[in-house]
Amino acid sequence: MSVRPYVVASVAVSLDGRIDDAGPDRLVLSGPEDLDRVDEVRAGVDAILVGAGTVRADDPRLLVRSAARRAARAARGVPETPLRVVLSTGGPLDPGARVFSGPPTLVLTLGDGGVPAALDELGARGVGRLLVEGGSTVHTAFLAADLVDELHVAVAPILVGGGPPFVHGGAFPPARWRLAGVDTVGDVAVLRLLRGPRG
């Protein structure tokens, strides 16, 4: 039986907990320094996962951007960019989306087995460390299933007042997260939290 990956969830939020505003254009909450931090985290995992809604709304590439980090991965004998994973509940995905160009991308359909089944599949494919980058539906599903081991929250100094929240609905496990570190990265505060004991 395969071992499920260690799951790191990463999100950038406004002071009022939003990941975007209500406007038609994508709101960039992170500055260049924090984007570089996320790139470093990407370089240290085996797979990067987003939801189909994020692919449709943001058209991400999900690549390691730094040439030096890509070269370091290649020197370790692993692909320059981690496996890209799109988690879908169904519905069409544009085959021209940027996530489908370049290195391979795996599309997993979230069926009756939910997030645990998706993690079992990734574990069977040799993924030991998984980075979950959102959006809110995916973050909610992983957190509600109590399957996030480490949480990185970059808090931007901006109030949005509308738009999608980081998580929504659902019942979350009665666990208090343990604060493992707080860093100032550019103009954002990055909280690193580890899953604490339940109860």
Q: Which of 25-29, 67-71, 169-173, 186-190 has the lowest mean pLDDT?
A: 169-173
Q: What is the DSSP string of 73-97?
A: HHHTTS-SSPEEEEEESSS---TTS
pLDDT of residue 199: 46
- The vertex-20 CA angle with 48 and 190, nearest 5°, equals 60
- End-to-end Cα spacing for the chain: 29
User: 70-108 pLDDT, tens per residue?
Assistant: 999 999 999 999 999 999 988 899 999 999 998 889 999
The amino acid at 131: L
163-194 as b/e, with b when 16 or more CB fall inside 10 Å?
bbbbbeeeeeeeeeeeeeeeeebbebbbbbbe
pLDDT of residue 1: 56
Please tell me which residue, 110 or 4, carries the higher pLDDT value: 4
Q: Is the pLDDT of residue 4 over 50?
A: yes
- The vertex-89 CA angle with 50 and 137, nearest 5°, equals 50
State the average pLDDT over residues 184-196.
95
For the chain, domain boundaries: 6-195
Task: Report the alpha-carbon distance of residue 87 to residue 6 in Å, rounded.
Answer: 17
pLDDT band at 166 (very low <50, low <70, confident <90, very high): very high
Phi, psi at 32, each rounded to 5°: -60, -35
Q: Is the pLDDT of residue 171 over 70?
A: yes
pLDDT of residue 6: 97
State the average pLDDT over residues 117-131.
97
Phi, psi at 74, each rounded to 5°: -60, -40
CA nearest to 198, candidates 169, 165, 175: 175
Q: Could you tell me what percent of the chain has a pLDDT over 70?
A: 97
Chain centroid to CA 185: 18
User: 47-78 pLDDT, tens per residue?
Assistant: 999 999 999 989 999 999 999 999 999 999 99
User: 6-25 pLDDT, tens per residue?
Assistant: 999 999 999 999 999 888 88
Look up the CATH architecture of domain 6-195.
3-Layer(aba) Sandwich (3.40)
The torsion defined by the Cα of 144, 150, 156 and 162, in degrees rounded to 10, comes to -10
